[in-house]
Each structure stands twice: as structure tokens, then as C-alpha cells.
Amino acid sequence: MRLEASSGKTLPALLVFAESLRYMEQHALSTIQEASFNTVCDPEEITWVITVPAIWSAAARQFMRLAAKEAGLISDMISEKLIIALEPEAASLWCKQLPQEGFLAEGSDKRKFEDSPGIQYIVVDCGGGTVDITVHEIQENRCLKELHKASGGGWGGNRVDENFIVFLREIFDDGVWDEYVKSYPTELQQMMYNFSLQKCSADREAVYLHCYYNLTRLAGKKKDISHFFKKATGAVWCDGMIMITYEKMKSFFEYSIKNIIAALREILGKPEMAKVQYILLVGGFASSVILRDKVREAFSKKYHIFCPVEAQLAIAKGAVLFGINPKIVTSRISARTYGVAVSRDFDAAIHDIRKRRVSKADGYVYCKDLFQKLVGIGESVNINEVAQYTFTPTEPDQTSALFAFYSTEKRDAQYVDEEGLELLGSCTVPIPDTKLGRKRKLILDIKFGLTEFKATATDVTSKQSRTITIDFLSV
């Protein structure tokens, strides 16, 4: 995969992400060194936390781990020096330890957010690209239990920006806007940054945006700039400024708000969510008064709604807390069903004849490509819990064993090649000593981690083992 710059130049996505992480690593280390009187940090003592949207796929999370390896943050793909944290989860950790004055004082609800055992709350992480939703319950030890699998969609603040751009293109027609975008990308970026500040601070009144020089100049070549606004609804030219009415500004938010509210209603409408008391709005997009007003309008009669004062920093600050104590999250909800491919004694009553195989070495009749479930969709998975499975070779003389891992949105499956099953990865463990034939033991240990599980296959005789890391939160 390659990424394209506004200039048209492309680079491999992995290179772009890796170099970005490398720069941030160097900047972080130099900042720490300056702040601690030139104390040099030992890289081996550093644990890095990279936050990702909760709805990112397994491939996307694995990509971030690979980028971190390429950047030199970790030495191998299974290093425990890198934690992949979910953004709404990180924000949740920050919010639950804030005092009452750490939240915006809005509306008539003056209740304090309770950090008490049994309290259930929903976190809505409103970022630029995505909106991620998770549900947590505070445990007796103040740790967090996930109650609902992470969900969400592409309803973030960027959607508002896109709607604003469509509006400007309608105003500055006759090719003006397209020429501006092509010829002055840096100025456009400044204009959009200014809009992003305005969309968050817009407080129930008209918004005034500076119309940058080159856009004004290009429009002026065609006709008097005020004429471009004659057919515009909700915008007026005002002495070098574009005045946008509050109603028009709200219209840019409609798509995002509609989807956020619909997603919240779907989750909160489930019987198992009956004890949820709070809605936490976090992320840069949550700084928008328009968004908060609409969420409060839809849910404040039944739920207490909170937004931290620094909503855009909640994730970064929470990630630090997560890195210090990753065990704060005790369980997760699996977003899919995960399993491993196995072979078993062939049973004509239940097995497909096309899967029947006969060993050339000893005549053993078995069924191949069977799916053995490890964890089911919607099941609660305890962090750091280890599940152990015992297997034996299919052939008495085989010298290696392949463990292939699959996932599906089904609750279970019989065969790994059924429709809807996806191969996630595999590992091959050597089993060189063949003296015991098919009586040899292979142990598969599955350890569930923060966002992944580690599968370690071990040959009991030779003690040789292989490990693979599989993301188990992919949606």
C-alpha cells in the first residue's frame, strides 16, 4: 500500500508510519532528557504505548506493530515493550480519576462521576476520522471490565470538514474552488485548520471565517466576490470574512450526529446495558458544543453526560496511565469467533467425505480442516488467562506441525474453509523425534493479552516451540 501526498508523490505506507514513529520516539527521548537534566534513558526500560481506534481491523493493528518494529521501538513482533491500547479505553482511564472540576460544567446535571465498584458507563471517543464506542464496568479492585464489544464508524470530525468543503465548492463555482485546491494546498490547509477550531468553539451563534488571500484573488478574477454568495443559503460575504449562520454550521454535523446517536441508542437499548448510568464524551471532536448539545438533548433525561475539560488530551494522558498499569483492564469482549485448524478421527455420520484422508504410513483415517473454537464472538475474555490444548500429529513420521488460526463472525464453524472464515496467521513447530509416532504430544498455549492473544505451540519431546501473536478484537 502506498500513500499519496497533495503534490502527487507516493511513498510506501509502512515507511511513512515508521518514520513518523521514529521521529516521535526521538522527540520524546530528547524532551525527557532536557526535562530531567540530561538523564539518558535506557531504551530497554521504556514501554511504548500506541493508541488506535477501537474499530481498527486486526491487519491495521498488526501494521502499527510492524511500523513500530521498523522504527526501532521494538526488536521483534512479539515484544512486550509495545502496548497497543484502544483509544476509548485510554480515555476512560483518564476520566475515571478526574475530580468534578475536571469536567465541563454544562446543563443542569451537577452530579459527580462516580469511580465506584459496579458503576457502568459508556465511552464515546469522538476523533477526527472515527467515533469509537465502548462500555465499561468498574470492578471491586477499581479495574475495568468491558461489557460490550468495541463499535463505531467513520463519523468523526473530518466528516464535518468534508461537508464544509462541499459547501465552499458550491459557493465558489465556475472552477474557482478547484483551482484554489490545486494551486494553494498549504493555504487551504491553514483555512481548514481555522475551520476546525471554529467548529469546536461555535457556541450557538454565527461563525466568521477569514477568507484567505488567494481564494479571494481567484474569485475576484471571475466577478465581484459578493456575487458568489447570492445563491448561498446560510452564508454571507462580510468584508473579507465568510459569515456562516449557526443553523448552517449545525447542518455540517448532521451526518456524524445522526450516526453517533443511532449507535448509542442501539447499544443502550440492549437489556444487558440497563445499568449504564453515564456517557463520557472524549476526543477532539467532543470539544464541539454542537455535538455535545445534541447528545445531551437525546440522552440527558436518562443518563449523566460528562466531557473532560481537555477532551482532546484525554486519550494521550490515559495512554500513560495504561502504560503504567496495563492490568487495569481485566477482561474484554471478543468481537469475533477465533479458532485453530485441527484433524480428528473421521466419523462418516458427521464429517464430509471430501475431508476424509488416510495415512500412508499406518492407515489412520482422519478428517482434515476441522475448526476448533478457542473463543466465541461476544464472549468475555479474561486478560492474561492461559488456555491449554493438547494435540497429536496426524502422521507418525511427520517432522513439523502447522497451527493455522482463523476467525469468523459466526458463533461457530465446522470447517476452516467455510464461507466467512478468515486465515489470520500460522506457526510451524519442529517435531524432529518420530520414535513415538502419533503418540507424541503437542501443547498449544493461548494467552489472552490486552488486544491480542499469543499462541505458543510446543513439542513436548524436543521442547521446541514457536509463538504467534493474533489480534482478537478485530471487528
Instruction: Compute how many other C-beta atoms are within 10 angstroms of the C-beta atom of residue 105.
Output: 9
Give the number of residues written for the chain: 475
Q: For residue range 184-237, what is the model confidence (pLDDT) as tens digits?
A: 989 999 999 999 888 888 777 889 999 999 999 999 999 899 999 988 899 999
What is the CB-side half-sphere exposure of residue 254 using CA atoms within 13 A? 9
**pTM for the predicted model, two decimal places:** 0.82
CA 420 from chain center: how many Å?
22
The pLDDT, as a whole number, for residue 474 is 47
CATH 2.60.34.10 domain span(s) along the chain: 334-471
The pLDDT, as a whole number, for residue 472 is 53
Reply yes or no on whether the pLDDT at 239 is more than 60. Answer: yes
Confidence of residue 451 (pLDDT cuts 50, 70, 90): low
Contact 474, 57 (CB under 8 A): yes
Q: How far is it, in rounded angstroms, from Cα 321 to Cα 97?
A: 10
Q: For residue range 290-324, what is the model confidence (pLDDT) as tens digits?
A: 999 999 999 999 999 999 999 999 999 999 999 99
Q: For residue range 334-346, what is the model confidence (pLDDT) as tens digits?
A: 888 999 999 999 9
Compute CA distances 380 → 99, 260, 266, 357, 444, whole Å. 30, 25, 20, 36, 21
Reply yes or no on whether the pLDDT at 452 is more than 80. Answer: no
Contact 67, 21 (CB under 8 A): yes
Residues contacting residue 175 through CB under 8 Å, at least 6 positions apart: none
Shortest CA distance to 390 belongs to which of 457, 312, 331?
A: 457
Confidence of residue 442 (pLDDT cuts 50, 70, 90): very high
- For cell 463520557, name the residue: 280
Beta bridge partners of 332: 381
Residues contacting residue 333 through CB under 8 Å, at least 6 positions apart: 146, 147, 148, 149, 150, 378, 379, 380, 381
The pLDDT, as a whole number, for residue 201 is 80
Architecture of the domain whose range is 334-471: Sandwich (2.60)
Shortest CA distance to 236 belongs to which of 214, 208, 213?
A: 208
Instruction: Compute how many other C-beta atoms are within 10 angstroms of the C-beta atom of residue 446.
Output: 21
- For cell 521442547, name the residue: 463
